[in-house]
Amino acid sequence: MKKILILLICILLMGCEDKKSLVSYINQDEALISISYPITNINVLDDKITGYVHQAYNEFKNMSSSDVPELNISYTYKEVNTDIVSVSLQTEIVTDKRVNKIKTFTYNKSNDKFLTMEDIVSDLDALDYDIKKELLIKYQDADMDYLSNISYDYFTVDDENLTIYFNPAEIKSNYDNLIYLDIPLNSMDLLIDVDKSEEEKTYLSIKKKNVSLDDKVVALTFDDGPSKYTNKILDVLKKYDACGTFFVVGNRVNFYKEQLKRTLNEGSEIGNHSYDHKLLTRLSKEEFQSEVNKTQEQIVKATGFTPTLFRPTYGGYTNTLKGYTDLTFVLWDVDSRDWQVKSKDKILKNILPNVKSGSIILMHDGLPYGLNALEDVLSDLKNKGYKFVTVSELLELKKLRES
């Protein structure tokens, strides 16, 4: 891999400035990399998290591959109660083979202690039989000799379930995906309190713009968010009475609910960009549908808005994949390449000469480079008479014009 790629990852792993997920989207010919993890501001926990991410990246870097290698690190984050935080880091490495791994941390801030299953469940021995029974039902090729030695090192807790993860080798399974069981909290005695989340009220849909069939229109799109930059993007859009379509990654939605609500409130649109930012063409039907459906669920739960648009990660898809969902696939005809050129002037050169009425412009949330150029893009296009619409509105206009 190129030295520049390694340098970017080193910068990525240094941390971030607030309690938000640090997101990087790097698309190189040599590797496809998507890394996301939470910064909790709990030093000992953050050290464990970043240490694991360093280790996973180094393992990926040292693997050889005859194809374009891929690294995905995603997370879940849950504040179990006022003291306990539960974090999982799921790693998928695709080279000449696929490797899936899980690492979890459950930390009690009140006593500065990483919790084990014995700290969570009052009678783990009594639960052990039921767990192994359920594993044999869910994974029928499990080997009882292996099951007798399995550990309960990897688990997370939310307001409904205790989820226990196992690496495939632990049960001698033919699966290369992670193996897990969801155990309802109401079916066991817990040694900790769990905060139950209240149902959130649904939010509003996007506003409609006053656009005529003869207007020059353009749709700005922002991939890979939401992020700590989303509000700054929205500030610039608001200044120019503009809007955008934000194609969001599902595992980041919970950290940025307010930004997504604001996105809709100010007339922009939310689209689906998968849950873990994996290369979709490598996924089975079930894996692809899981990526789409989990993201839909997170967006609806956070905002009440149901996306109708889907942007495939890295722009890669097949007609077969399109048949697995009712969402409309959306690509672009103007690519800022902001993730690559990292220069305001180069981003403007990639965008402005190539825009025409009906264009869809690709930019990225989560990176500062496109944000630095966004105001000049909006100012130039507005001066040229363009109006800004969401992708859904653009598609609607195209149908009306064709009819």
The pairs formed by 130-135 with CB atoms below 8 angstroms and a separation of 24 or more are 131/164, 131/181, 131/183, 134/181, 135/166, 135/171, 135/179, 135/181
CB burial of 296-333 (b: ≥16 within 10 Å; e: otherwise) equals: bebbbebbebebbbbbbbbeebeeebeebbebeebebe
Residue matched to tokens 């459950």: 106
Catalytic, out of 46, 223, 224, 365:
223
CA pair distance 231, 237, nearest whole angstrom: 10
Residue matched to tokens 């064709």: 402
CA pair distance 74, 275, nearest whole angstrom: 9
Catalytic, out of 46, 158, 273, 364:
364
Identify whether 195 is a catalytic site residue: no
What's at 103, amino acid-wise? K
Q: What are phi and psi of 105, to 5 degrees?
A: -140, 130
Tokens for 297, please give them. Answer: 């669920």
Counting beta carbons within 10 angstroms of the beta carbon of residue 159, is it exposed (0 to 12), middle (13 to 18) or buried (19 or more)? middle
**For residue 7, what is the enclosing H or E element?**
helix 3-12
Identify whether 29 is a catalytic site residue: no
CA 309 to chain centre: 16
- Helix (DSSP H) and strand (DSSP E) numbers for the chain: 13, 17
Q: Are 32 and 39 in contact (CB under 8 A)?
A: no
- The CB density around residue 239, as the number of other CB atoms within 10 Å, is 12
Catalytic residue numbers read 223, 364
